[in-house]
Amino acid sequence: MKLTMDKIVNLCKTRGFVFPGSDVYGGFANTWDFGPIGVELKNNIKRAWWKRFVQEADNSFGVDAAILMNPRVWDASGHTASFSDPKMDCKNCKTRHRADNIIENYKGCDVVPDKMTNAEMEKYIEEHDIKCPNCGKRDWTPIRTFNLMFETSRGTVDGNKDVVYLRPETAQGEYVNFLNVQRTARAKVPFGIAQIGKSFRNEITPGNFLFRTVEFEQMEHQLFCKAENAFAHYDEYKKLAWDFVVELGLKPEHLRYHDHDKLAHYAKAACDIQYLFPIGWQELNGIHHRSDWDLSRHEEFSGKSMQYLDPITNERYTPNVVEYSIGADRLTLALMCEAYDEEVLDGGDTRVVMHLNPAIAPYKVAVLPLQKNMSEKAHEVLKKLNKYFMCTYDEAGSIGKRYRRQDEIGTPFCVTIDFDTLEDNTVTIRDRDSMEQIRLPIDKLVEYISDKVMF
Using CB under 6 A, list all residues that contact ligand ATP: 169, 201, 203, 212-213, 216, 218, 283-286, 325-327, 329-330
Among residues 160, 123, 161, which one has the least CA distance to residue 140? 123
Q: What are phi and psi of 407, to 5 degrees?
A: -60, -40
Smallest distance, ligand ATP to C-beta of residue 7, A: 20
**Residues found in the chain:** 455
Smallest distance, ligand ATP to C-beta of residue 322, A: 13
Nearer to ligand ATP, 214 or 442 (CB): 214
Smallest distance, ligand ATP to C-beta of residue 172, A: 12
Nearer to ligand ATP, 214 or 365 (CB): 214
Q: Label the pairing between strands 60-62 and 191-200.
A: parallel
Q: What is the DSSP letter of 176?
A: T
Side-chain half-sphere exposure of 240, counting CA atoms within 13 A:
22
Nearer to ligand ATP, 219 or 368 (CB): 219
- For residues 422 and 35, give the distance between their C-alpha atoms in angstroms, rounded to a whole number: 35
Nearer to ligand ATP, 213 or 428 (CB): 213
Neighbours of 268 (CB within 10 A): 17
> Number of helices (H) and strands (E), helices first, in the chain?
15, 23
Q: Which helix (H) or strand (E) holds 118?
A: helix 118-127
Nearer to ligand ATP, 143 or 334 (CB): 334
Nearer to ligand ATP, 170 or 392 (CB): 170
197, 66 contact by CB (below 8 A): no
Residue facing ligand ATP at closest CB distance: 327
Smallest distance, ligand ATP to C-beta of residue 111, A: 19
Smallest distance, ligand ATP to C-beta of residue 127, A: 27
- For residues 196 and 63, give the distance between their C-alpha atoms in angstroms, rounded to a whole number: 8
Helix (H, G, I), strand (E, B) or coil at 312: coil
Among residues 148, 87, 147, which one has the least CA distance to residue 121? 87
Nearer to ligand ATP, 114 or 342 (CB): 114
- For residues 409 and 312, give the distance between their C-alpha atoms in angstroms, rounded to a whole number: 53
Extended strands (E) in 240-388 = 255-259, 269-277, 280-289, 308-309, 316-317, 320-327, 340-344, 350-354, 365-369
169, 199 contact by CB (below 8 A): yes
Smallest distance, ligand ATP to C-beta of residue 280, A: 13
Smallest distance, ligand ATP to C-beta of residue 103, A: 16
Smallest distance, ligand ATP to C-beta of residue 151, A: 17
440, 429 contact by CB (below 8 A): yes
Q: What angle do CA 116, 118, 124 make, to 5 degrees?
A: 70
Smallest distance, ligand ATP to C-beta of residue 288, A: 8
Smallest distance, ligand ATP to C-beta of residue 227, A: 22
Measure Cα distances from 332 to 65, 112, 197, 259, 432 in Å: 23, 31, 15, 23, 20
Nearer to ligand ATP, 97 or 402 (CB): 97
Nearer to ligand ATP, 44 or 285 (CB): 285
Helix (H, G, I), strand (E, B) or coil at 255: strand
Nearer to ligand ATP, 203 or 299 (CB): 203
Nearer to ligand ATP, 85 or 418 (CB): 85
Q: What are phi and psi of 300, to 5 degrees?
A: -65, -45
Q: What is the DSSP letter of 212?
A: B
Smallest distance, ligand ATP to C-beta of residue 285, A: 5
Neighbours of 130 (CB within 10 A): 20
DSSP letter string, 399-417: HHHHHHHHHHHT-SEEEEE
